[in-house]
């Protein structure tokens, strides 16, 4: 609709600066900024400060004790196990799915994308529920599982499955837009010159999606480590055995062991802050690339 601006007015500071008499009043500015800062401080910053404060309330020594507690370590290991598996499976899936969706035409594409996104839109409790229904007492799979003594529900496999489920779309969701925006031109050119599929993927596609992929993995890992609802349903809550870090937090808090609860939380919080930093970096790089 709009024309090429043949002569746009010269260098302005800030691309969204409005002119002369269309600028808002200073008072409105100050009010809005103050409101925003206050809101974010109360809603976001204070909870973070609470975690740190409560973790170290009894001193650094006690903090270390809580963090290196056997149960806690067990929970950490289980959490890591589930996270790693989830990341691997979902990366593989994410790459294949995003590739398939962006490079091929077929009907029902949108439907497929919606399906893939489903785990994110579903409540974590319901996510846990469906696995219980599939593998739990009521299902026809149960007796079979009982025979081979492979328990899913209320055992580690269940936790891992739930984790994979809720983080399922994270990676494909991040790389899909990049792939779609990129188009098929470069790959087609390479194919015409005789490159094989895998080479094309490695040398052309992968570099493009590098940052989106990294960000997707980070998001996936974060959600995997922090997943609570779904894992809670499938867990069985056996301390030291089927308890992940978030569940351990719940247990400690429920036992009124506040300091340890927050100490364990601080581990997860550090991870959250790392994610935010990574995201900022990725966005910064992405923005610079866009300006090149």
Partner 1 sequence: MYIELKNINKSYGSFKASDNVGFGIEKGKLVALLGPSGSGKTTILRMIAGLERPDSGEIIIDGKVVNNVPASERGIGFVFQSYALFRYMTVYDNIAFGLTVRKQNKKEIKERVTELIELIGLKGFEKRYPSQLSGGQRQRVAFARALAPNPQVLLLDEPFAAIDAKVRSELRKWLRDMIHQLGVTGIFVTHDQDEAIEVSDEIIVTNHGRIEQTGTPADIYINPTTAFTSSFFGTTSELTDYKLFNSFDDVGEYDKAIIRPEFVRVTKKNENQKYEKSAVEGVVTDLQFRGNSYELTVNCNNSRFSARRGLDEPAVEIGEKVDVFIFRLFITQGNTVRLLKNNAIREETVII
Partner 2 sequence: MGITFTLLSLIVLIPLASLVVFTSKMSFSEIWNVITRPRVLVSFRVSLLTALIASLINAVMGVILAWVLVRYKFPGKRILDGMIELPFALPTAVAGIALTSLYSDSGWIGSIFAKFGIKIAYTRVGITIALIFIGIPFVVRAVQPVLEKIDPLYEEAAGILGASRARTFRKVILPELYPAIFTGFGLAFGRCLGEYGSVVFIAGNQPYETEITPLIIMSELQEYDYSSATAIALVMLLAAFIILFIVNLIQIRNTKILKGGN
Binding site for partner 1 (CB under 8 A): 1-12, 19-22
Coil/strand/helix, residue 9: coil
- Considering CB distances under 5 to 8 angstroms, the limit depending on partner class, which of partner 2, partner 1, none binds residue 181? none
Name the one range near partner 2 by CB under 8 A: 44-52, 59-67, 185-193, 202-210.
44-52
**With respect to partner 2, which residue has the nearer C-beta, 148 or 193?**
148
Q: How far apart are CA 18 and CA 92, in angstroms?
A: 47
- Considering CB distances under 5 to 8 angstroms, the limit depending on partner class, which of partner 2, partner 1, none binds residue 64? none
Q: Which of 159, 179, 220, 247 binds partner 2 (CB under 8 A)?
A: 247
Smallest separation (angstroms) from partner 1 to the CB of 268:
44
Beta-sheet strands, E only, within 40-121: none
Q: How many CA atoms lie within 13 A of 183 on its CB side?
A: 4
DSSP label of 45: I
Residue pair 190/167 in contact (Cβ under 8 Å)? The answer is no
Smallest separation (angstroms) from partner 1 to the CB of 12:
7
- Considering CB distances under 5 to 8 angstroms, the limit depending on partner class, which of partner 1, partner 2, none binds residue 182? none
| 70-103 vs 245-254: helix crossing angle, rounded to 10 | 140
**With respect to partner 2, which residue has the nearer C-beta, 122 or 191?**
122
Question: What is the separation, in whole angstroms, between the first and last Cα of the chain?
Answer: 26
Q: Which of 4, 111, 121, 290 binds partner 2 (CB under 8 A)?
A: 121
**With respect to partner 2, which residue has the nearer C-beta, 124 or 216?**
124
- Considering CB distances under 5 to 8 angstroms, the limit depending on partner class, which of partner 2, partner 1, none binds residue 6? partner 1
**With respect to partner 2, which residue has the nearer C-beta, 67 or 122?**
122
- Considering CB distances under 5 to 8 angstroms, the limit depending on partner class, which of partner 1, partner 2, none binds residue 279? partner 2
Question: Which pairs with CB-CB distance under 8 Å and at least 24 residues apart come from 257-260?
Answer: 258/54, 259/54, 259/55, 259/57, 259/58, 259/62, 259/63, 259/66, 260/66, 260/69, 260/72
Nearest Cα to Cα of residue 259 among 63, 74, 32, 29: 63
- Considering CB distances under 5 to 8 angstroms, the limit depending on partner class, which of partner 1, partner 2, none binds residue 7? partner 1
Our finding on whether 22 is near partner 2 (CB under 8 A) is yes
Dihedral in degrees, nearest 10, Cα atoms 219, 223, 224, 226:
140
Please list every residue from 264 through 283 that binds partner 2, using CB under 8 A. Answer: 265, 268-269, 271-273, 275-277, 279-280
> Greatest CA span in the chain, whole angstroms?
79
Dihedral in degrees, nearest 10, Cα atoms 231, 232, 237, 239:
60
**With respect to partner 1, which residue has the nearer C-beta, 18 or 44?**
18
- For the chain, the residue count is 292
**With respect to partner 1, which residue has the nearer C-beta, 19 or 288?**
19
Smallest separation (angstroms) from partner 1 to the CB of 177:
24
Smallest separation (angstroms) from partner 2 to the CB of 241:
18
Q: How far apart are CA 107 and CA 88, in angstroms?
A: 29
């Amino acid at each position: 609709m709009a024309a090429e601006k043949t002569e746009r007015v010269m260098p302005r500071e800030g691309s969204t600066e409005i002119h002369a008499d269309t600028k808002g009043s200073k008072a409105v500015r100050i009010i809005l900024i103050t409101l925003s800062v206050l809101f974010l401080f109360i809603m976001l910053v204070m909870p973070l400060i609470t975690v740190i404060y409560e973790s170290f309330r009894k001193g650094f020594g006690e903090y270390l004790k809580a963090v290196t507690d056997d149960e806690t370590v067990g929970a950490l290991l289980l959490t890591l196990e589930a996270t790693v598996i989830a990341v691997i499976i979902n990366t593989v899936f994410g790459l294949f799915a995003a590739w398939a969706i962006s490079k091929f035409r077929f009907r029902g594409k949108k439907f497929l994308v919606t399906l893939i996104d489903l785990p994110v839109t579903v409540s974590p409790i319901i996510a846990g529920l469906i696995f219980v229904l599939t593998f739990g007492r009521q299902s026809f799979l149960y007796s079979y599982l009982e025979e081979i003594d492979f328990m899913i529900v209320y055992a580690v496999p269940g936790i891992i499955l739930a984790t994979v489920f809720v983080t399922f779309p994270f990676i494909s969701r991040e790389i899909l837009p990049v792939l779609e925006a990129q188009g098929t031109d470069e790959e087609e050119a390479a194919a015409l010159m005789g490159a094989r599929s895998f080479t094309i993927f490695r040398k052309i596609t992968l570099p493009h999606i590098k940052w989106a992929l990294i960000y997707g993995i980070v998001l996936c890992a974060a959600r995997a480590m922090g997943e609570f609802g779904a894992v809670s349903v499938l867990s069985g809550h056996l301390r030291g055995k089927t308890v992940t870090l978030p569940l351990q937090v719940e247990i400690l808090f429920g036992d009124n062991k506040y300091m340890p609860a927050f100490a364990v939380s601080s581990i997860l919080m550090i991870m959250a802050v790392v994610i935010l930093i990574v995201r900022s970096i990725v966005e910064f790089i992405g923005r610079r690339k866009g300006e090149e």
